[in-house]
Structures are given as structure tokens and as C-alpha cells.
Amino acid sequence: MIKNLLLALPITVALACGGTLPPEENDAALPTDGVRVDGTTPTSDTGTTPTSDTGTTPTSDAGTTPTPDQGSTTHYDGEPGEYVLTHNGRQYRLYVPSGYRQGTPIPLLLGFHGSGDTGGNFYLIAKSLGWTTAAEPARYALLVPDTKSPYSDFGTWSGDVMNDAGAMKDEMTEILAIVDETARHYNLDTKHLHAFGFSNGGLFVALAGMANSQTFASLTVMAFGWGAQYPLVTPTRKIATQLACGTSDSFYPQAQQSASYLSSQGHPSRLETAAGVSHRFSGICQAVGIDNLVSWMEQHTL
């Protein structure tokens, strides 16, 4: 059972592009208590209505240990299902679609939340938007980790992301160790490891993903842009990178510049525009389409 999934909360942080991050607007909070990950019926949140996250204060769920769900009929050893797991003190969510079979390698998508959010909440939002439905029957597996950052932010460790490139790279190294652990239980397609991230999660995907261009087949940066240059890291190979941003997001001009710059440097890249959408993960997914984003990933292999 997922314990104490937290609300996504607005936080303002400094950015590599020199501006400030608008409120994350990670959508209204989803039901947080008693949510089971094995598909059985929750006991305490049935019929609850998502509520606004405005003005609430975040707390950390880092270091909590998931307890076995006694109602579960699936096991984390090659079986389809939803799992809450820990690795080296980091909690993460894993979704393996119902049609998965050991005989066929499956792509893996890594999803990274914005500042002030948690992996648990971001996973529930992604699920409510259709990321798990799109994975069926065996299109891809989905892995959503928490960050270890003291700011609950994949992009911020010291309070200034300009100083935190090394910390981001180190965290990605730890997360790739989770991928290795997952590969001991599931037949992953190592040529189809893809990363997507929202807001400062997008910054993390861009910087730490490009630092591991030999590992990722593609990167998807949502609601973020860093202008006409590399995001502090020059990748060792031309890596497919798509940006998706709302036209009402303050990052839209930087996203346009980033996509154009990457194309000029020979990287397969594109910008998917969400007309009228502000700084919202849900708005981008609904306007651009999850299938559209994933189909682009599928076209690119390591």
C-alpha cells in the first residue's frame, strides 16, 4: 500500500537559464491515503475528490519503507503489476503492463517530477492522465523515482542549479542503478531506455540525460527550455531530444531556442507546442497527446 503520498506544491527556485521558476502547478492533488498499487480496492479514499494544492506546505517522504501489500497477488520478479519499491534508500514506482512476457524485451520509460513534488504523486497524476493505459498491453514499462534532493527537486541541491550539475549527474547514476536492478527481474530492451521530465525534472533530464547519452535512446523535456546552447553538458553522441511546452508558459521562448539549437547541432529534435497551456504537466499531456510523445520515443533507438 502506498503510504502518505504527498501533494504537489508550488515552489520557486533559481534556474540555469537565469530566471525563476513559476509555480509548478502540478495539478490538483490526487487521493493520497489508502491507495493500493495492486489494483485492489482502497479502504479509506473511496469516492474522495481531488483537492487544490494551493498554499499547502510540503513534507518529505524520503526514507519511508514500503510495506508488503497483503492483498497483492503479483510479485516483483518478472510479473506484470504496480510496485512501490526502494533501492539504496530511494523510493520508486514501477508499472509493468499486463501483456508483458519474459520472452520479449520491453522498453522502459523513466519519469521525473517537478520541484516540490514526489514520485508517488507524480506517478498518480501520470496514471490519471493515461501513461499507464498507453503502456498496454506491452508497449513499455514505466519507472518513476523520488529524488534525494533536500529541496524535493531533481534540479536543485545547493539552492542554485548553476552549482548542481555534479549532483544531478550523481543522482542519475543512482537511478540508472535502479534500471540495472529492474533488468535483473524483467527483460528490458536496453536500446529503448527513454527519459521524460516536467519542469525542473525536464532540466534534470536534459542535463543528466545528455551526460548519459550513451545510455538513453531519447530525452523528453516538458515545460522547460535552456536557450540556444547545451544545458551545461555537451553529449558524447547526437541524442534524440523532444521538447513539449505550452505557449502560455514563460519557458516557451527558451524551449523554442533549445529545439532549434539542438537541430542545428545535428540532434534529432522537435518542439511539440501546447497552444494556450501554461506551466502544467496535465495541460501538455492533454494538448500534445501521450501517444504522440511516446510514438516519437519509439522511433529512436540507442
At 160, the pLDDT band (50, 70, 90 cuts) reads confident
Stretch 80-100: mean pLDDT: 96
Q: In what order do the strands lie in the sheet with 218-222?
A: 81-87, 90-96, 141-145, 106-112, 188-198, 218-222, 240-246, 269-274
More confident residue, 73 or 183: 183
Is it the case that residue 161 has pLDDT exceeding 90? no
The average confidence (pLDDT) of the chain is 80
Domain positions in the chain are: 81-298
**Per-residue model confidence (pLDDT) at position 162:** 82
Question: Domain 81-298 carries which CATH code?
Answer: 3.40.50.1820
At 32, the pLDDT band (50, 70, 90 cuts) reads very low
More confident residue, 147 or 25: 147
Three cell numbers, residue 34: 489508502
**Per-residue model confidence (pLDDT) at position 177:** 97
**Per-residue model confidence (pLDDT) at position 218:** 98
Q: List, for residues 112-125, the tens digit of each pLDDT value.
A: 999 999 999 999 99
At 77, the pLDDT band (50, 70, 90 cuts) reads confident
Stretch 177-194: mean pLDDT: 97
Contact yes or no for 120/146 (Cβ under 8 A): yes
More confident residue, 74 or 215: 215
HSE at residue 190, side-chain half, CA atoms within 13 A, is 7
**Matching residue, cell 515545460:** 223
At 75, the pLDDT band (50, 70, 90 cuts) reads low
At 20, the pLDDT band (50, 70, 90 cuts) reads very low
